[in-house]
Structure 1
């Protein structure tokens, strides 16, 4: 899977992933537990950003490595370590909920992240 996602921050300062195909509660799409602070960083503290994410390597991309599988727990998902940001050491821990499993078809061992310059770069 290789897809560009839009993330946006509400006036309440909550981050969400924009998944038009999602038919369940929007609460499921809120980015929390370190994912929100990662988005603050990569957005440059703006209210929107786009991330190209893949479970297959992307040349020059940063990596989020699965450090704890929580798919058998109530909220599911997994704990990840974002090793680098734009090639520099970052080592930021975050949790991605079970929506990750729906989007990727499973819980990837590694998620590669790249940063498209414009929204037109969306896949």
Structure 2
């Protein structure tokens, strides 16, 4: 995965168990770290609209049509990753909180204060 690109593409797959995982073929850690939990799974269910796969364009820089995930709590020194808030999605206010684990620092090489996605 090229981390110097402004935008990256991430794919998430829902397994028959109902659990969501980010697809990172180059990941050398355990699969459990790739599971989307604590609100991220709920958001993927909303985005998927019944499908078993979601592909997102993500960036630290705003781009046309992007939604914003705002870091509300840096958990790097405890459980890793951070708590993010999605204030609105597709024009509707939802104020959805989610934990995004230390895989964020693998993808972005840091814990971004804002992640833009579409």
Q: Answer whether TM exceeds 0.5 for this pair.
A: yes
4+ runs deviating over 3 angstroms: none
Contact 1:62–1:87 (CA under 8 A) maintained in structure 2: no
* Partner residue, 1:27: 32
User: What is the aligned counterpart of 1:64 among 64, 69, 80?
Assistant: 69
Question: What is the match of residue 97 of structure 1?
Answer: 101
- Normalised TM-score (structure 1): 0.88
Q: Deviations over 1:21-56 (max 9, x none)?
A: 101101110000000000000111321111111111
Report the counterpart of residue 90 of structure 2 in structure 1.
86
How far off is 1:98 after superposition?
0.4
Superposed displacement of residue 90, structure 1: 1.9
Question: Structure 1 residue aligned with 2:43, among 38, 42, 45?
Answer: 38
> 5+ residue gaps in structure 2?
1-5
CA distance in 2, matches of 1:28, 1:105: 16
Unaligned runs of 5+ in 1: 115-123
1:14 corresponding residue in structure 2: 19
Give the TM-score normalised by the residue count of structure 2.
0.92
| Separation (CA, whole Å) in 1 of partners of 2:40 and 2:115 | 13
SS at match of 2:76: coil
Provide the aligned length of Structure 1 versus Structure 2.
113
Supply the distance in 2 between the matched residues of 1:72 and 1:59 (Cα, whole angstroms). Answer: 33
